[in-house]
Structure 1
Amino acid sequence: MAWLQLRIHTSRAQSGTVEAALLAAGAASVTFEDAADQPILEPALGETPLWEAVRITGLFDAAVDTRGAIDTAAAHCGGKLPRHTWELLEDKDWEREWMQHYHPIRCAGNLWICPSWTAPPDPGAVNLLLDPGLAFGTGTHPTTFLCLQWLAAQTLSGTTAVDYGCGSGILGIAALLLGAERVVGTDIDPQALAATHRNVARNGLAVDRFPVYTPAACPGLEADLVMANILAGPLMELAPTLTALTRPGGRLCLSGILATQAETVMAAYTRDFDFAPVQQRQEWVCLSAVKAAR
């Protein structure tokens, strides 16, 4: 099935009106994009920010009456649409389109992240087979890559770990493949919990070695290793929870943090943890620490 896109350039103040106009005109979906290179890397808690200049795209069946759609949308915008264009969109399996661009990644000396549909380049290495589906975590983002590099440098034999905000399960599965005995995962997204289950099985691991829970159902424990690759705001809010999950002498790995946020995040944990030097990749950092003994 072919589709048409109606792209409209507008301002943040008018974005709600334009969205309603596109839906009234019959758009199957509406997408908001930055139109002026104004990145918002981490919104404040509870905030859904928009850029000053916004490009809003309505997706329509290719058989749509384009003139009629324009007239309907314009009527909802005071009689005239802002600058706009129609574009033809080729129909594809968009959920899988990215697969052709996702290749094996060497994260550390002997650790590779391999798409589940390709053969590992080094069969003798520790190869984590991954299909993230709709969950976060492929190893390509600097925050995940930094966490994997840190993990590969740890001694994990026989340890228990927590993967808080597990996403695709990539960090917890890497910990198991590198020697951890058991990982407990948690995520607020049901699709992430399902993706983790699938990836655990894909790597030939017993499901009971990586049980997953919503945060409210996560059992209390003191783990040897706690990992959380989320965002700075939630990491500061979760400081009491992640501290309680880490045993005295246990290790903590935090990421999803911009370099400018590192000091603020560490301040939420310094009463209980001793931090190692910050590791950075592009504008992102990974923080690692050891919990003080009682």
Structure 2
Amino acid sequence: MSTIMYSFRSHFFKHLSSTTTLCASFFSGRRMCRPQTHSWFTSFTYTPTPHITRKHQGRFITTGAELSTPSSSSAPLLPSKASGGDSLTSSYLSVSIRCVKDVSDMLSEALLCYGASSTTVDESEDGNEVCVESIFSVSHDVKQCISLASNSIGLENIPSYQVVVHNQSDWIRAVQDSFQPVKVMEGLWIVPEWVSVPDPRATNIILNPGLAFGTGEHSTTKLCLFLLHDIIKGGETFLDFGTGSGILAIAAIKFGAALSVGFDTDAEAITAAQHNASLNG
């Protein structure tokens, strides 16, 4: 049996995409809808090696991977806390956008399609308005991005916003502090590279997401992991299209797939996926 999953992490504002399987399961995601400056696909390929075998919920899992990848431009990963991240001194833009609560989710997805690296909706405030926190590179025209995103979801006026310039190392430290081990299910953990494994007996996916989508905390990623855990019986071929950090492609191998291939067009995602493949090899 061959299992193929396409993991398109985006929304319909730009390039309609979804996460699907042959049995027509759909999940929405984010990140891959950013406009690309090239049309070629970069890929990395996992093939299992039989040197480590573990029992996981009644099913044997072969872990270990060999990485085959074309060269790609480098992109920043999150350094270990031991390194301090002081070498990453470039700046980025933190943008806070005020909007009505009803459109906050749509606006967040649209911002990702028009250049934002990440978005978060802060719903801690009372009332009808919320704050959409977003990250942009300093090269982006923030006003144009917000204008295009607003128009794409039918807003008549551009929401009010505030832009602050930050040092990238500050953002990386904040991500390190917020990204903790995630217990997806019994016997399966997503563990940051800079944190000790909570349960050595479990199946642990070691991850450094860098600037790519896929930390295991997003609900769509968790749903895909549950689905993979249920449908992979051993020996399948797996395709992760829009692989981001590579988390699903790595999980497929750990669940017993014979071959796992990840595709992406984002150089940052490819760098993260390559690194994560080596962490789990």
- With the length of structure 2 as denominator, give the TM-score of the two structures: 0.47
| Relative contact order, higher structure (CA 8 A, sep 6+) | 2
Structure whose CA Rg is larger: 1
More helix by share: 1
- With the length of structure 1 as denominator, give the TM-score of the two structures: 0.45
